[in-house]
Amino acid sequence: MTLPEDHPLRTGRTANSPLVSAYSGHRPRRLPVWFMRQAGRSLPEYRASRAGVAMLDSCLDPDLAAELTLQPVRRHGVDAAIFFSDIVVPMALLGVDVKIEPGVGPVFASPVRTLDDVARLRDLGPLDDERAAPVTAGVRAAVAALGDTPLIGFAGAPFTLAAYLVEGRASRDHLGARRLMHSDPAAWHALMSWAADVTGAFLQAQVRAGASAAQLFDSWAGSLSLTDYTQHVVPASARVLAGVRELGVRAVHFGVATGELLVAMRDAGADVMGVDYRVPLDEASWRLGGRTPLQGNVDPAMLAAPWEVLEAHVRDVVERGSVAPAHVVNLGHGVPPDTDPDVLTRVVELVHSL
């Protein structure tokens, strides 16, 4: 597989950007920074744009999704946009009955817990170009407006998709998914295979439409032991990451509370490891053998601290990240909705000054 001739990496628009350079293992002159959930409720322009529009409708409206993607780049001057989407979007594109309920999150009408349930998912067919069109149109619109600022593709990892499907909604411990993993390995393997197909197609569609990198979010992998992750999750995630890398773009792998899984997640095929706020970056680099570019890991809680406290924390994160081959500053999770956006802008200015 090859990228289209007009892709920003092939034309050179983003190939030498600070973000792509850092993701490739080089240290650019300007330390790159962006924030997970940088497009969101912390921005008044986001709240105005989304007023009266449901979350999934926002994700599937190409013009609105592109606008929401661009807003934090305009306001904060971050070094990358990440496409505005949600983990359940590829499933919605296939016709899975899912709603995102305010204060609850994704809710599925029919949880998936047997081989027959997985077969019904397979009957929905593949996520082809026609079905992905609302997303790829949004990606193209965002890329056209970003100039030499790269866009990062977004997708949930197979385990996180599977965990939502088995539970039927968000869960604190994902006990249902872990039970299925062990009580019915055939159903679990079939579900993970389907999720890998869907997520892989979703990410590849974004990359072909112009994304210069891709991030795979395994939000719930931290609920797993290393053994369970390695045996029952890695093969599916490795398929997704391999498909992205075959297109010639760098892949970031991130999970919450996954400090014990960092090496396994990297070895699944990631070029860059996102690190949450629980593990210092110098420790993460040591665990990864000092050869993997890192992304992270400012504690989102610090965004509400007095500036002198936050500044010292950001400087410490940058100092610890300096031991890695390359470093992209980010949060160790997403931007809290009540964050003062001026604080994020100030953090960007600080990072660029370093």
Q: What is the pTM of this model?
A: 0.96
SS3 category, 332: coil
Q: Could you tell me the domains of the chain?
A: 8-353 (3.20.20.210)
pLDDT given at position 230 = 98
What does the chain come to in residues? Answer: 354
SS3 category, 98: strand
Q: How many CB atoms lie within 10 A of CB 62?
A: 18
Determine the longest span between alpha carbons in the chain, in angstroms. Answer: 57
Distances (CA, A) of 237 to 17, 95, 193: 27, 23, 9
Cα torsion through 189, 195, 200, 206, rounded to 10: -170
Which positions are annotated as active-site residues? 37, 41, 50, 86, 164
From CA 88, how far away is CA 223, in angstroms rounded?
19
pLDDT given at position 1 = 66
Strands (E), the chain: 81-82, 98-101, 105-108, 151-156, 213-218, 250-255, 272-274, 294-298, 327-331
Backbone φ, ψ for residue 14 (5° rounding):
-120, -5
Q: What is the mean pLDDT of each run of 10 residues along the chain (354 residues)?
A: 92 97 97 97 96 95 98 98 96 94 87 96 97 98 98 97 90 88 97 98 98 96 97 98 96 97 98 98 98 98 98 98 98 96 98 97
pLDDT given at position 171 = 76
